[in-house]
Amino acid sequence: MLTVTFVRHGESTDNLKGIWAGWKDAPLCNHGMNQAHALGESFADTRLTAIFASPLKRAFTTAQALHDAQPEPQPPLKTSLNLREQHFGVAEGKPWTFHREKGKTVEEMYAEDIWPVAVTQTEKFPEGESQNDLAARAERGLQECVMPLVWKAARSGVWGEHIALVSHGLCISELVAGLVKKNSEAQPERDYKGLLNTAWTRVVIGVQGAREGEPLNFTDDNLPPLVVRVTHVNQHDHIDKLVRQKGGIGSQAHDPKQQDIRAFFGGGGASDTKVVEPVEALETTESNAAEETLHKS
């Protein structure tokens, strides 16, 4: 089986605001960097064979922390534009809302600087992507990063690779759903939105009838059926005891040149934690506007 772990990025400075932030390229805040380090430490004994990441700062920095904690020889770290979050077009950086003014078209609301959450899979902001557009791009991401490894393993008879894809909330939900659709056996539909910052979801993929050490012969025009299973969803034990730094430090943009500021202000890093109630990463921006409905329903 090929194991794919999908990781959402750490908390960004835009996660602390009520704005649309898809391709808007905000960095991790200090708390988000601590989350990323905690993620890396939790995977230090899990050998990854490759890491793919969105090139947006919040995801790539998270992927770097995951990569740096890996044992030698460390896996390759590659970026893919297909792993970026949904693009919200002209709404990027604008405040989002669930409220829709009765009797007004979306164009009229846009003119009044009102940027409501989409209610259909085809609706999108000008110059942006719809949910259907995102799903199509996620499929391209799977074909780029995941499926070549599946077919390579089936043809060689050598399985067991474990890769990580570090991306964004909505994009991950479409990536996982896209893999589940490839399963040869019907599975109940499920929504994979709602990942906390640096939480992860895992999928294992195999080829029907494939066995370790037994290569399969097939052509690209006649691919064998897949067996796809979601084994973990929204795993976040590594951040449940992580304490946000006080005095506003945790919410500030992370500056790698000021590593000692945490110690100076007594904030501590990912390894300097105390037992508290689990801290739930804010779900109010980028993909989070749509995800927020999950917590309200």
Ligand-binding annotation for 14, yes or no, is: yes
Per-residue confidence (pLDDT) for residue 101, from 0 to 100: 86
Give me the active site residues, please: 9, 85
Q: What is the pLDDT of residues 173-213, one digit of tens each?
A: 999 999 999 998 877 778 899 999 999 999 999 999 899 99
Which of 96-100, 121-125, 145-149 has the lowest average pLDDT?
96-100
Strands (E), the chain: 2-8, 50-53, 77-79, 96-97, 115-116, 162-167, 200-207, 226-235
Q: Do the beta carbons of residue 261 and residue 249 sit within 8 Å? A: yes
Ligand-binding annotation for 15, yes or no, is: yes
Query: Which pTM value belongs to this model?
Result: 0.84
Ligand-binding annotation for 174, yes or no, is: no
Q: Which residues pair with 153 in a beta bridge?
A: none
In order of start, what are the domains of the chain with their CATH numbers?
2-86+129-287 (3.40.50.1240)
Per-residue confidence (pLDDT) for residue 275, from 0 to 100: 33
Written as one letter, the residue type at 5 is T
What average pLDDT does the segment 84-93 reach?
97
Q: Do the beta carbons of residue 151 and residue 223 sit within 8 Å? A: yes
Ligand-binding annotation for 144, yes or no, is: no
What average pLDDT does the segment 219-228 reach?
95
